[in-house]
Chain A
Amino acid sequence: MELQIEDSELVRDYISGDEKALEILIHRHNQRITSFIYSKVLDRDITEDIFQDTFIKVIKTLKKGTYSEEGKFLPWVMRIAHNLIIDHFRKNKRMPMFEGNEDFNIFSVIGDDKLNAEKQLIKDQIDTDLRELIEELPDDQKEVLVMRIYKDMSFKEISENTGVSINTALGRMRYALINLRKIIEKHNIVLTN
């Protein structure tokens, strides 16, 4: 029958510099501590993190020599783990983590509206092509279209700036769009992202 060395003896050996003693202690209590943490947090990765942080505290305390063998080693480690679990939930409460499930994915509601590099390149190319096409329009139509689309002016402002009536400005805008479409169709230009 194998004789099991007491935890307290292993702790003493470890404090004296026997690193092997720590390995035995970790292996001995691995399942107990891990299962305890997992039963509270129900997440594999968080369990690993809390287990690691627990033993970092254990190692630091033992190396510092501030550990007192008043209680037992395992209850002491479990108390550290328990406190770290509470810290984890407190931190999560301040900054809740939401993970989607099969029925609902958070990224279907929120998203990064920035274009990726490829789409941005395509968009820039389309903008450049469109500007070149606009240059092909008659000056009066081009003027109205640029004021409306690029300068975001109202038709009232356009009529005041160009000295024509609102209806004329509207008509020029209409013909500008019709002519643009004609140029695009005639040259089989594709302007989609």
Chain B
Amino acid sequence: MEKIYSNYQERTEFKKVCPKTINFLLSFSKALYDVKYKDLEFETFLN
């Protein structure tokens, strides 16, 4: 059996963010609109 000698085994574990964070990002993306008017650019949120 191989042995891991690293003092920081936790650093090498695979992790994933929770679904709540992903859902937030997807909602954020759907709500965010970039509006351009002449030379101006606005970020707006539409709910």
Q: Which residues of A contact B (CB under 8 A)?
A: 19, 22-23, 26-27, 30-31, 34-35, 38-39, 42, 44, 47-48, 51-52, 55-56, 59-60, 63-65
Contacts and interface: CB of A to CB of B under 8 A. Distances in A.
B16 to A, nearest CB: 5
Nearest to A23: B26
Contacts of B38: none
A44 B32 CA distance: 27
A48 B17 contact: yes
A34 B15 contact: yes
B39 interface: no
Contacts, number: 60
B30 A19 contact: yes
A50 B43 CA distance: 21
Given A59-B32, A60-B32, A35 B14 contact: yes
